[in-house]
Chain A
Amino acid sequence: MAIAAIVASARVRAGKTLLARLLAENFLLSGGRPMLLDTDTTEKRLWSYFPVETQLLDMDRVTDQMTLFDMLSVGTAEPRIVEVAHRSSKKFFELMRDADYVREARANDIEPVVFYIPSPDADSFEYGRQLREQLAGCDFVVVQNSYLGEIKHMTRLSVGYRALEIVRPRIVLPALDPQFIPVIDIPSFSFREFMRDPGTELPQGARDTIRHWLVSCFRATYSAIETIERKVASIPASEPGNLT
């Protein structure tokens, strides 16, 4: 069974590329060779970090839509990660539903998992709630990106928040000290390489802070992936179901 990670959010700058990178590096660290798909043909952020492994696809083109879903459902053992650009989100999820992608993927031993990153506002949680409902039966992981700030009291009272609050597994990404963001944003910055050898270019304090943050992020993503893999493995092939 291979995972097809679909990284999405309701807002721009929610941390999709960061999560896609973490997932990709997690798979690479485990010896996997993930297929990476970036639907943001304007900013090409995921592609900028993995120019060799990433395929850029324009969701406005039918041929690219075909390539994307073919790659997401092809029955090979490689994990795959797609970063769904904000502007492509509607089209992507409509196609996913209309093409009955989840069923097709599972028939090919691929487990699709939506990693949804809500922003702290109620509308964002509501969008996630509706998305999860629309994709009933598809595994859904809520990713709380602490960098986006505190969730307001009023948001916590919303239907969307309450619906997503109980979804498991859940990933909480700790916030990195903003002064180090430019460091990890450099396209040549590899998380796994930094974990192996943080080098000496940064001061010891900075290296420790980034390393500590990375360990927490890797732990959180690894734990979620492991939970999904374990649960999928425990479900008989005839009855694939939602994990939540």
Chain B
Amino acid sequence: MKPAVIMIGADKGGVGKTTIARTMLDYLRAKSMPTRAFDAEWPRGTLKRFHPQSTEMVDISQISDQMKIIDSLVSSGSKVSVIDIRAGLLSPTLRAMEDSGFFDAVRAGEFNFGLFHVIGPSISSLEEIDEVKPYTEGSNYFVVKNFINETSFFDYDPAVKANYFQRTKDGIEINIPKLTEMAYEQVELAGVPFSTFIANKTMDGRPGNYSLVLRGYVRTWLMQVANEFEKAGVLKRLAPSDSGSATGVAS
């Protein structure tokens, strides 16, 4: 199987891209997919805090760190590399990856590539779509709408909404439902992956003391997110020979 690179980013901050990266790591783990992650929120990253074992900090603007990611895609033994791009750096990162020949390799079929573009309900997000579009042709472009703040995505303005959908029509849409704030906060405080919280474990594997109800909320939500990934065919597109059919959420 060809190695796959999943890039998760947004040019706008606060749209929940690290949350999406965290759910992706849980999803891939539930699918028993050998995965590594890179946190580009250099020098201190949130993804690294929740997934310290599998995540490495990188400064993706540095050529040495770009080499660290790309040159080891085959040799690392991980089938999927997830990169959480620092807020505001999606377009520059894509440009840098283009300059490094990464997209040539993708077009030549050496790697599978998926871009998860986390969109916010703002005009600047619409503009972002135009900026990243040149890098999405021939690749898997996932437009992720994160409803974490009960966003409406222009439901109030039909003209803007039509424009929005016109621009995202080539993308594969993924809708991330809202997780109850209290449950989200508790996972934040626990500082563990969502699946570990559900299993009522601490980071070092000891029994946790998390609320049964909040674990229930997180379980249901993570299952819905996994269903969205399934529906979008994430693994079928990016890791075709290794993807299972069942939705996996650790319990």
A70 touches B212 (CB 8 A): yes
Q: Which residue from chain B places its CB closest to the CB of A68 in the assembled complex? A: B213
Range of interface residues on chain B?
Answer: 10 to 19
Other-chain contact of A98, B182, B211, B219 (Cβ < 8 Å): B219
Choose the segment among A28-36, A99-107, A142-150, A199-207 that binds chain B (4+ C-beta atoms closer than 8 Å). Answer: A99-107
Q: Which residue from chain B places its CB closest to the CB of A101 in the assembled complex? A: B212
**Known: A66-B211, A70-B211. Is A100-B216 also a contact (CB below 8 A)?**
yes
**A82-134 residues at the B interface, CB under 8 angstroms:** 95, 98-101, 104
Count residues on chain A whose CB falls below 8 Å from chain B CBs.
14
At the interface, yes or no: A69 with Cβ under 8 Å from chain B? yes
At the interface, yes or no: A227 with Cβ under 8 Å from chain B? no
A100 touches B219 (CB 8 A): yes
At the interface, yes or no: A73 with Cβ under 8 Å from chain B? yes
Q: Which of B183, B211, B220 has the most CB of A within 10 A?
A: B211
Return A86 CB to nearest CB of chain B, in Å. Answer: 21
Other-chain contact of A62, B213, B215, B219, B251 (Cβ < 8 Å): B213
B213 touches A69 (CB 8 A): yes
Interface of B is mostly: helix
At the interface, yes or no: A155 with Cβ under 8 Å from chain B? no
**Known: A98-B219, A100-B219. Is A65-B251 also a contact (CB below 8 A)?**
no
| A66 to B182 alpha-carbon distance, docked (Å) | 10
Return B215 CB to nearest CB of chain A, in Å. Answer: 6
Q: Which residues of A contact B234 (CB under 8 A)?
A: none
At the interface, yes or no: B217 with Cβ under 8 Å from chain A? yes
B182 touches A104 (CB 8 A): no
B182 touches A99 (CB 8 A): no
At the interface, yes or no: B180 with Cβ under 8 Å from chain A? yes
Interface residues of B (CB under 8 A from A): 180, 182-183, 211-217, 219-220, 251
Q: What are 12 A-B interface contacts by the 8 Å CB criterion?
A: A62-B183, A62-B213, A62-B217, A66-B182, A66-B211, A66-B212, A66-B213, A66-B214, A95-B213, A98-B216, A99-B216, A100-B216
| Further 20 A-B residue pairs, CB within 8 A, beyond A98-B219, A99-B212, A99-B213 | A62-B180, A62-B182, A62-B183, A62-B214, A65-B213, A66-B213, A66-B214, A68-B213, A69-B216, A70-B212, A70-B213, A73-B212, A95-B213, A95-B216, A98-B217, A98-B220, A99-B216, A100-B216, A100-B219, A104-B212
Interface residues of A (CB under 8 A from B): 62-63, 65-66, 68-70, 73, 95, 98-101, 104
